[in-house]
Structure 1
């Protein structure tokens, strides 16, 4: 036994890197070029596609932000960007990777008006009509439960993006349990398991996994740094293997 082992105790054995091929589908990313704070150019998008395919994904559901006056994306604009990316991917020799799109809706007044005016939302999951949505990270929306009810009443399945990152829910884990009981699916970001966003996000993500409350895992890829963290840190975190053992829905999308 080495001096350091005697001093600090034996180190934990290394964790073997998990494979994301069992997920099959990444349902949260910002890879479409020039639409939000994700990929800026087509070349950037193609590089991200190559890296995501190397992780074992066979399908990507690309979800650009739709958020008030910041990202005023439309179904038509998103669909056009998807068509252009498909063409570019084929020309670049990227095959065997299915590309589809939805959106990540920010829970703001504009989103409420979309529901009131029965504007069609971009969904994924086929007939399940899943809608990915997010909120402010700091301030709890006053209309959170009302918006969820209205989505459900309109025939949509709400999916809350990265619930572990909302600081207004820290110390209120029972609220996340309540949301899931209300019928909201919960999607955890993979890099939260490596503490990429914060120690608090990591702790909540682990607690959600321990409680079996995670329905979907997403990369939330914006740039290569996210994938570098995924490759060098997240794949060897013990909680990733634990998360992959849950009855996740990724592979059914």
Structure 2
């Protein structure tokens, strides 16, 4: 498995607190079958976030920690960028805040993980995606299943999908760790072939951690081994390699019909 979303760099955001916790998170990731992990610290607003250089230094520390402690885990750079219009000028400057940003300019395609405000959709969202694409960046939306407004207006999501937006769901959402609503939404997206990646979105060594196995097992049971492999291995490996990911255009999200009383009774 490849974890495309985590907060494992110590003491830069609301995730990993210190080096001891980082080591515990790295060990848990490797022990649970993750072979590579992107360090995607929060980049929340212009002028109030860690510099790209600081995040790269954090990634180098994580790599050294893995080598020094015999942890079999590849570490890749990145960030979870908040959709703030004022941040645009700072993004994708020589790879800044891109996934595997060190390879910027050497590969055909560059990707960036972006999160929305939790309870509303910015009016400039369409333009934000457009500006990222002008920079040569393919955007990946972080945990769409956790945005109630977006899941209530999935026509907006399908429009973005048609324009090339990719989607990353949290492994914990499939396992119910973010509540029933997020779990239902994650399964709905999976059923409609709208999940391209998963991530732990880990913030701690215990609880919201780097062990993705429970969520991955749900994906495997619902979608099959080939689809699970595409989401958990093949697509993230294409991000690392800088290869384009082709997506199926979805015209409509098919929802399960609610069963009536007699269907529930005798079904």
TM-score (norm 2): 0.77
Deviation of 1:213 (Å): 1.0
CA change 1:43–1:58 in 2 (3 A) is same
DSSP-derived class of the 2:209 partner:
helix
Partner of 1:65: 42
- The answer to whether the 8 A contact 1:164-1:204 is kept is yes
Q: Quick check: 29-38 or 63-72, which moved more?
A: 63-72
Runs of 4 or more, structure 1, over 6 Å off, are none
Mark the runs of 5 or more structure 1 residues left unpaired by the alignment: 1-23
Structure 1 counterpart of 2:84, from 108, 115, 118: 108
Aligned partner of residue 34 in structure 2, secondary structure: coil
2:170 alignment counterpart: 189
CA separation of 1:69 and 1:181: change in aligned 2, threshold 3 A: closer
Relative to structure 1, the CA distance from residue 82 to residue 229 in structure 2 (aligned partners, 3 Å threshold; closer, same or farther) is closer
- Partner secondary structure for residue 221 of structure 1: coil
What CA RMSD, in Å, does the superposition of the two structures yield over aligned residues?
Answer: 2.3
Instruction: Quote the offset at 1:33 in angstroms.
Output: 0.5
Check whether the contact 2:29–2:210 (CA below 8 A) recurs between aligned residues: no
Determine which of 129, 152, 172 is the counterpart of 1:148.
129
Alpha-carbon spacing, 1:241–1:74, altered in 2? closer, same or farther (3 Å): farther
Q: Does 1:76 align with 2:53?
A: yes
1:48-105 deviation line (CA, Å, top 9, x unaligned) = 00100112111111100011179511110001111222222322232x3111211110
1:242 aligned partner: 222
Shift of the 79–191 alpha-carbon distance from structure 1 to 2, 3 Å rule, reads same
Of the candidates 108, 115, 129, which is equivalent to residue 134 of structure 1?
Answer: 115
Aligned length: 226
Structure 1 residues 134 and 84: alpha-carbon distance in aligned structure 2, compared to 1, 3 A threshold: same
Whole-angstrom CA distance in 2 between matches of 1:169 and 1:84: 37
Does the CA-based 8 Å contact 1:106-1:134 persist in structure 2? yes
SS in structure 1 at match of 2:208 = helix
Any gaps of 5 or more consecutive residues in structure 2?
241-267
Counterpart in 1 of 2:262? none
Question: How far apart are residue 236 of structure 1 and its match?
Answer: 4.8
- Measure the CA separation in 1 of the matches of 2:26 and 2:111: 23
How many Å apart are 1:153 and its aligned residue? 1.1
Q: Report if aligned partners of 2:16, 2:22 keep a CA contact under 8 Å in 1.
A: yes
Aligned to 2:6: 29
1:114–1:219 Cα change, 3 Å: same
